[in-house]
Amino acid sequence: MPERIYLSPPHMGPEERTLLLDAFDSNWIAPLGPHVEAFEKELAARVQLPHAAALSSGTAALHLALQMVGVGPGDDVVVSSLTFAASANPIRYLGARPVFIDSEAETWNMSPDLLEEELEERRRLGRPMPKAVVTVDLYGQCANYTRLEPLCEKYGVPLIEDAAEALGASWQGRPAGSFGSMGIFSFNGNKIITTSGGGMLVAREQRFIDTARFLATQARDPAPHYQHSHIGYNYRLSNLLAAVGRGQLRVLDERIAARRKNRELYEAAFKGIEGIRFMPIDARGTCNGWLTVVVIDPKAFGASREDIRLALEKENIESRPVWKPMHLQPVFAECPVRGGAVSATIFADGLCLPSGSSLTRAQHERVAKVFLASRESEAR
């Protein structure tokens, strides 16, 4: 069996190792520690915001953000349908109901037209506004904030940006994570940079970050005797992992360049081939290139998304269908959705290709060869 090619494996270097060993040797294993504070400062600076809280996951960051804007039982929260379940699950943790919005074709992210329809209809019918709007920056590309941000402001709904996949991306010159009242990032294993597991909440307003730190450390009142007036969580990031995160942040630009190069190499390899379309990149933004995603027209190409995926898997190459939209998930079957056909089509024919920043030219060639050969085996 040839060596396995992974979708998006961790990519560590000497800086990460040095910083991790520094944390270890300093005995700042717990609690928190200097690397946590430094990681927060460095990440906040990177996304041009004054405040950040390092947390145990991106999901935890979103959970706290939703709670801080007042989401609770019986509320509605609007969220993009084409995303990973972690964008919607925290809405349920709080007893609220996700209301899904379909993608626009231009960015694959939340359609501003459909969001406007949703908010305007509520206003017209005198129904309560959603408690929050969660936008997602899918596969490293920002949503259309030129329209989404003013819309949320106009209707007075807090915007929370799920930038878990988009660290280092931008929209009209502004960094991913800096839109709306709060942004979240993930450092899970296959993200563009990883701490093995971890997340970050970023905000312009300090009060959000102070409250997040308080809630994330079991909501201890300022008293020596462990007094509690609120229900808290155990959501902070370890100092060891923050050290790894600092090292990863230092090489983020290299990782972005390598991921963008992946897409260029796939584009070159598939040039002139019918039936392959790449995820569109809107010229108003810059994409961090997290994953290269193609949409297959099975008739024109000669094999389906699933034929290709299985052909790759047979050669020990990992690829993955596009996220199954939330409005098609059994667990969210009862939740309302506006639109749905755009994301359903992207899901039906979309495939994420191996996109690691450590992918070699030889590995690229292997992927492209098996990808293209999948047609012949299906022609019979």
Ligand X SMILES: *Cc1c(COP(=O)(O)O)cnc(C)c1O
* Alpha-carbon radius of gyration of the chain: 21
Shortest distance in whole angstroms from residue 335 CB to ligand X = 17
Amino acid letter for position 108: W
Nearer to ligand X, 69 or 110 (CB): 110
Shortest distance in whole angstroms from residue 258 CB to ligand X = 19
Question: Residue 365 half-sphere exposure, CB side, CA atoms within 13 Å?
Answer: 3
* Contact call for residues 73 and 96 (beta carbons, < 8 A): yes
Amino acid letter for position 127: R
Report the distance separating Cα 145 and Cα 164, nearest Å. 16
Nearer to ligand X, 59 or 107 (CB): 59
Q: The tokens of 330 are what?
A: 């059994």
Q: The tokens of 47 are what?
A: 């996304």
Burial state string for 140-152 with b = 16 or more CB within 10 A and e = fewer than 16:
bbbbbbebbbebb
Shortest distance in whole angstroms from residue 53 CB to ligand X = 14
Nearest to 133 by CA among 46, 75, 191: 75
Shortest distance in whole angstroms from residue 268 CB to ligand X = 27
Nearer to ligand X, 87 or 304 (CB): 87
Shortest distance in whole angstroms from residue 86 CB to ligand X = 4
Which residue of this chain has its Cβ atom nearest to ligand X in the complex? Answer: 58
Nearer to ligand X, 103 or 186 (CB): 186
Cis ω for the linkage preceding 31 (within 30 of 0)? yes
What is the contact surface with ligand X in residues (CB under 6 A)?
57-59, 83-84, 86-87, 136, 162, 164-165, 186, 188, 199
Nearer to ligand X, 84 or 171 (CB): 84
Nearer to ligand X, 87 or 238 (CB): 87
Shortest distance in whole angstroms from residue 186 CB to ligand X = 3
